[in-house]
Chains A and B, each alone.
Chain A
Amino acid sequence: MNLKRDVAVQTYSGLGLSALLAITILNIMLHNMPQSVKRAGEKLLEINSQDGVANAVTTVVVYFRGFDTLGEIAVLFIASLGIGLVLSSHSEHHHKVESSFILKTASKLLFPIIILFGIYVMVYGHLSPGGGFQGGVIVASAFLLLLISHQDFELSHSVISAFETLAGVSYVIIGLMGLWILDNFLGNFIPHDISQMGMLVSGGIIPLIYIIVGIKVGSEMSMIVQNLLKRSDNE
């Protein structure tokens, strides 16, 4: 088999590459890091300190690479669109598997806790690890739990698409307002004082944008999950 030989070759070369990576990383861990590698991070932190955001990763994702993040969200939207198109078979044969009483009760109890955790991860994205993408996926996993446990539960298409559209439009509007006020797409036009660093309200537009990203990612992922789940129930 040609395919089998190809897979074997790729596996062995992958094994070799990962062994090389392991040796390199262990080498770096055992000896000291080269000076140039160390200085790159310091330079980034120096620029980061001008924005008053405690989490450097957030600054890179939302501020320095804000336009790329917009593109990433568009890619996710296209993926959700593709799944909706591929699975749009209109057969009404619905066979239900009733889930147990324990699962139903516990998922009702767990759903608000998971939603709360997702919103926490979104809102504190500029202070601690986490942010819009992670928080959005956590919110989507809460909806996944509810969709699996309750057969008659269904997300409303119009509400989800309203949330998604509003989030996407407000991302672009905030970017354009930055362009208007500071001559810079996604310029940080809300006052952000360096002394506020580490507070919940700090960093100007960066937490706002991360919350918007979270809403958009959450609604898109919930829609993907619901499309796959409900369509695969229909025969």
Chain B
Amino acid sequence: MAEAAARIGRPSREAVANAVLALALLAAPLIALQAGEPYYVNLSTRVAILAMAGVGLNLALGYGGMVSFGHAAFFGLGGYVAGIAAHHAFNYDLFMAWPVELEGTNQLLAIWPVALLVSGLAALLIGAFSLRTAGVQFIMITLAFAQMIYYFAISFPDYGGEDGLPIYTRNALPGLNTFDPLTFFLVAYGALMLAIGFTWVIMGARFGAALQAARMNETRLATTGIAPYPVKLTAFVLSGMITGLAGALFADLNGFVDPSMLSWHRSGEIMIFVILGGVGRLFGPVAGAALFVLMELFIGQWTEHWMLVLGLVLLTVVLFASGGLMGLLAGKPRHD
């Protein structure tokens, strides 16, 4: 906790880098609008949402040391909540008739809590089983559970199966026009900043100290009288919920949801945001997601084989440049 407090206390290089990243992401769509390039507004929204998915994973992976290879499950479930709610609202039919009658809705203030609830419950179930193991088994099991949900989504035809579900009109917020790209960007940006703020608050609290201790040495944590399992499970659930909410936003941004949101490539991508940015760094996922989207854009214009370039860049970062982008911008972290 002392180290977290120290980081909060004085403006470190990392704090400056964080502020620059936050402002740059906010400025990007405004500059794009000024320059008459509205395409880049949606691109900025994409960065904000993907970064938020990474912020969720970072809580489990970076701070808690739980290498989840299944976070696409939560991302996709959040997306499907938005898609299914909009689907029933569009068709004026019921989601379920028993035991209570539930209609669809296009109100984000109703959709988001449900997305948080569904992804949180899924994370509770997956985490409860997966955290019985550690290390390489944990990686494989989280991957396997995410695949289970992926295959279910593909084989269950009511919600589009392999084709997915369209969201014909973007879900709404009272008093705001979510169709306006800049408004929707600000919604996504606000959600991202809330998620980062939430991470910052809990990592500065006793819970955060316990979580970091669970990552470094579970036995020592246990000898101080704190059971590691509930701490890690709580962090895993919170992590899944943040990524789930990002998924709901992502579905609305794209106007559809399909099983690829649940695929293991997506899990790998979310992991890449965290690693490219810097594991366990507050703004790491923002830096990572921005770099990823920019690489996708610019290398994608230059060659259709941009995944090859991404693979080689990732390989180089892992083999020779651990610490990620935040490591370059703000130096080594002060702990471990």
Q: Do A and B come from one complex?
A: no
Spell out A's residues near B (CB within 8 Å): none
